[in-house]
């Protein structure tokens, strides 16, 4: 679901809060950092080199963006 949300609007920056609301529902109670964990897991599946991401990109201070190639 995380990848689908990001792929629906490529190049758009999604905040952690936005991704939490869209992927985990409004009833989720927990830390926003769960998004970081799932982004890291997603990168292991879609990136050639997860330590230097080029598809699922971090936009410092804002969130994450999908840059399909």
CB-CB contact of 55 with 46 (8 Å): yes
Which CATH number is 2-66's, of 3.40.50.150, 3.40.50.1950, 1.10.10.10, 3.30.470.20? Answer: 1.10.10.10
CB-CB contact of 64 with 6 (8 Å): yes
DSSP 30: S
The pTM for the full model equals 0.88
Who's near 68: CB < 8 A, 6+ residues apart? 7, 10, 55
Confidence of residue 7 (pLDDT cuts 50, 70, 90): very high
Q: Are strands 13-14 and 63-66 parallel, antiparallel or unpaired?
A: antiparallel
Q: What is the pLDDT of residues 19-57, one digit of tens each?
A: 988 898 766 667 778 999 999 999 999 999 999 999 999
């Amino acid at each position: 679901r995380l990848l689908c949300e990001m792929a629906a609007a490529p190049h758009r920056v999604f905040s952690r809060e936005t991704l939490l609301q869209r992927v985990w529902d409004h009833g989720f109670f927990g830390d926003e950092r769960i998004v970081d964990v799932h982004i890291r897991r997603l990168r292991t599946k879609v990136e050639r080199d997860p330590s230097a991401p080029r598809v699922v990109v971090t936009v410092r201070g804002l969130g994450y963006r999908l840059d399909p190639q």
